[in-house]
Amino acid sequence: MNARDRLIVGLDIPTIAQAETMVSTLGETVSFYKIGYQLAFVGGLEFARDLVKDGKQVFLDMKLLDIDNTVANGVENIAKMGVTMLTLHAYPKAMRAAVQAAKGSDLCLLAVTVLTSMDEPDLIEAGYDHDPHSLVLRRAEQALAAGMGGIVCSAEESAAVRNIVGSGMAVVTPGIRPAGSEAGDQKRVMTPADAIRAGSSHLVVGRPIVKAADPKAAAEAILAEMQSVL
């Protein structure tokens, strides 16, 4: 894959009209988009279908977690949408149910390990005994065993995760920040080039592109940086 196949632009935007404008602004520069909670609840699921019809790839960031039957039923319907990737929390029972439900489809299921906005004190507060790195690696092992298509982790863990999952799984990393940009609410961040070097297969970039004065130029700069190390 070239850089364009690996860059996922996060459409963390309030309205469908604004998302449509952003996609139009980015044009052929970007071919892969993430739709998460903010957009999903104002018509983002239908917008995802529209993007697929227009030949774009869609990463549906729903972070599913529920009883096995509910997860399976949801995954079955999402697979019919034609999106490329879907996230769920990396709980073994949920992952196994999702993998079974997605069989026969092209949907890549991604296991969310530890959110990039969380550090060790956050995990301790939530009741976990593991530090972020250890928990990410444990969940990567469980995702591999469950037959998931990829892992979502911070780029700081990409190299260690890649050692566990090998070359056959996607390693998708949010919290990507070009040099000089603000981290915002992200706590475990890395530049695009360093993330690719570390073993990330796909980079999720939201605010550094969609909040930029010139989103297309920002995307082009990130793509050039990624391509320089591919």
100 versus 184: which is more confidently predicted? 100
d(CA 209, CA 217) in angstroms, rounded, equals: 8
pLDDT value, residue 131: 86
- What is the pTM for the complete model shown? 0.91
pLDDT value, residue 124: 87
Rounded to a whole number of angstroms, the distance between the first and last alpha carbons of the chain is: 9
188 versus 189: which is more confidently predicted? 189
- Secondary structure letter of residue 139 according to DSSP: H
CATH number reported for the structural domain that contains residue 112 in this entry: 3.20.20.70
Mean pLDDT of the chain: 92
Number of domains in the chain: 1
Range of the domain at 12: 3-227
The question of whether 66 is a catalytic residue gets the answer yes
pLDDT value, residue 47: 98
pLDDT value, residue 22: 98
Span 192-226, pLDDT tens digits: 999 999 999 999 999 999 999 999 999 999 999 99
pLDDT value, residue 83: 98
CA 218 to mean position of chain CA atoms: 19
- Residue 41 burial (CB < 10 Å; 0-12/13-18/19+)? exposed
On whether 69 is known to bind a ligand per the annotation, the reply is yes
With a pLDDT cut of 90, the percent of the chain lying above it is 79
- Residues 132-164 as b/e (b if ≥16 CB within 10 A, e otherwise) read bbbbbbebbebbbebebbbbbbbbbbbebbbeb
Span 2-55, pLDDT tens digits: 999 999 999 999 999 999 999 999 999 999 999 999 999 999 999 999 999 999
pLDDT value, residue 120: 87
Query: Residue 181: which pLDDT band, with cuts at 50, 70 and 90?
Result: low
The question of whether 61 is a catalytic residue gets the answer yes
Return the structure tokens found at 41: 């609840």
- Residues 55-77 as b/e (b if ≥16 CB within 10 A, e otherwise) read ebbbbbbbbbbeeeeebbebbbe
d(CA 15, CA 79) in angstroms, rounded, equals: 24
Count H helices and E strands in the chain, helices first: 12, 8
On whether 144 is known to bind a ligand per the annotation, the reply is no
On whether 64 is known to bind a ligand per the annotation, the reply is yes
Going by C-beta distance under 8 Å and a sequence separation of 6 or more, which residues neighbour residue 211? Answer: none
pLDDT value, residue 24: 98
Tokens 């604004």, residue?
18
On whether 123 is known to bind a ligand per the annotation, the reply is no
Query: Residue 100: which pLDDT band, with cuts at 50, 70 and 90?
Result: very high
pLDDT value, residue 106: 96
The question of whether 214 is a catalytic residue gets the answer no
- Residue 111 burial (CB < 10 Å; 0-12/13-18/19+)? buried
Catalytic residue among 50, 54, 56, 63: 63
What is the mean predicted confidence (pLDDT) over 54-58?
98
Query: Residue 182: which pLDDT band, with cuts at 50, 70 and 90?
Result: low
